[in-house]
A and B are shown apart, each in its own frame.
Chain A
Amino acid sequence: MQIFHRSANTLSKLSIFGGLLVVGLLLLFMNAFESSGWVTTQNEIQTQPIQFSHARHVGGNGIDCRYCHTSVETSAFAGIPPTKTCMNCHSQIFNQASYLEPVRASYRTNTSLRWVRVHDLPDFVYFNHSIHVNKGVGCSTCHGRVDQMPLVVQVQSLQMQWCLNCHRHPERYVRPRADVFRMDYTPPTDQLALGRKLVAEYHIKPVADLTSCSTCHR
């Protein structure tokens, strides 16, 4: 006696392959989803308490990053300027403008301006600015042309894969220390030759150390 019709054979085969296909597609989708801007917050604009423009201050007025991000060369944290730093100039420039009132109010009442983080690694990842800056990794390599941004956006994914891509091949990205803060730096055509020279000169650690899990997860 036949309980199942013969076509059930095809059906069962189909369901096996169909199932595999669905799982495969799901994995592909998850992968795409995980690296999409929606998850990594890449290129997303955050609403800030004040429309602070790097394009105006850095691009237009040529102020060096370190004028405001004072600890970027010496500590893990790049530093966000306190209100006093804004008041250095804005006590005189645009000192009546209504859009700067939050800055003046913060200064008068000694309360903090609440900037919203743009780049935010998970807390289980250790990142350090000073080592990168001192070994010739430029701001623009990781943050893009900040000097052209009216509002800062994150241009790289900041995923582990992105960090590792450079930690495996630092020679593709390092530049002379003197150019670290230059926004308009373009790598020379013989970047690999220069990169290898700088990797040796700056004693950049071997790839095995840079890709060891405990370098970033400690």
Chain B
Amino acid sequence: MHNQPKYIPLRETHFFKSGRSERPLVAGTVARGQLREDDLLYTGKVDGREVNEFPFPVTEAVVERGQQRFNIYCSPCHGTTGLGDGMIVRRGYRRPPSYFEARLMNAPVGHFFDVITNGFGAMPDYKAQVPVRDRWAIAAYIRALQLSEHATMQDVPPAERDKLNAQPSAPGSK
């Protein structure tokens, strides 16, 4: 009764040589309704060129989602501010460029989407860990980080200024 003859996730099988009960899809299989026709959404490129627009409207919720996902998947190397000084880099991983370099400040958002999807040089790809819409949310958050680099008090809506002057909350509380 404890172990019934059925497959739960990652349970071993003796039927296939690899021992994997989850079978890989035959190359080229497309589930109904999941054909990735929308180039902009799935590749960040149109006609092979990285775009500078988002496939869906960027709202506050999208940027907040992006912040959360960035802190999970990117901050270990890029640091929470994007300077490239994350914990794994301090442990010896190659140091990534700061997001505030002119080249990256001017890069189209499609570039960030592409780097997450396919990796870049020494950076591994994150397509298995980060779903498509979250990749765009992260790209939006990186843009927000870049804007914040040279932002002044004038850019903050008056209603929010008091919050900035208050004590910062402890790191990791979000």
Contact = CB atoms under 8 A, between A and B. Distances in A.
Interface stretch (A77-85, A136-144, A149-157, A194-202): A77-85
Interface residues of B, number: 29
B4 A92 contact: no
B34 to A, nearest CB: 16
Q: Is the interface of A mostly helix, strand, loop or mixed?
A: loop
Interface string B99-129: 0000000000000000000000010100011
B159 to A, nearest CB: 22
Interface residues of A, number: 26
Contacts of B8: 77, 123
Contacts of A124: 1, 4
25 contacts: A61-B76, A62-B87, A63-B76, A64-B72, A67-B73, A77-B9, A80-B10, A84-B128, A85-B128, A85-B129, A88-B124, A91-B124, A92-B93, A92-B94, A93-B91, A93-B92, A93-B93, A112-B18, A112-B19, A114-B12, A122-B1, A123-B1, A123-B2, A123-B6, A124-B4
A111 interface: yes
Contacts of A122: 1-3
B71 A64 contact: yes
Interface of B: 1-4, 6, 8-10, 12, 18-20, 71-73, 76, 87-88, 91-94, 122, 124, 128-129, 172-174
A112 B20 contact: yes
Contacts of B6: 123
A182 B172 contact: yes
Contacts of A87: 124
Nearest to A124: B1
A46 B43 CA distance: 43
Contacts of B91: 61, 93
A4 B103 CA distance: 107
A7 to B, nearest CB: 49
A66 B130 CA distance: 10
A88 B6 CA distance: 32
A114 B172 CA distance: 33
Contacts of A182: 172
A82 B9 CA distance: 13
Nearest to B172: A182
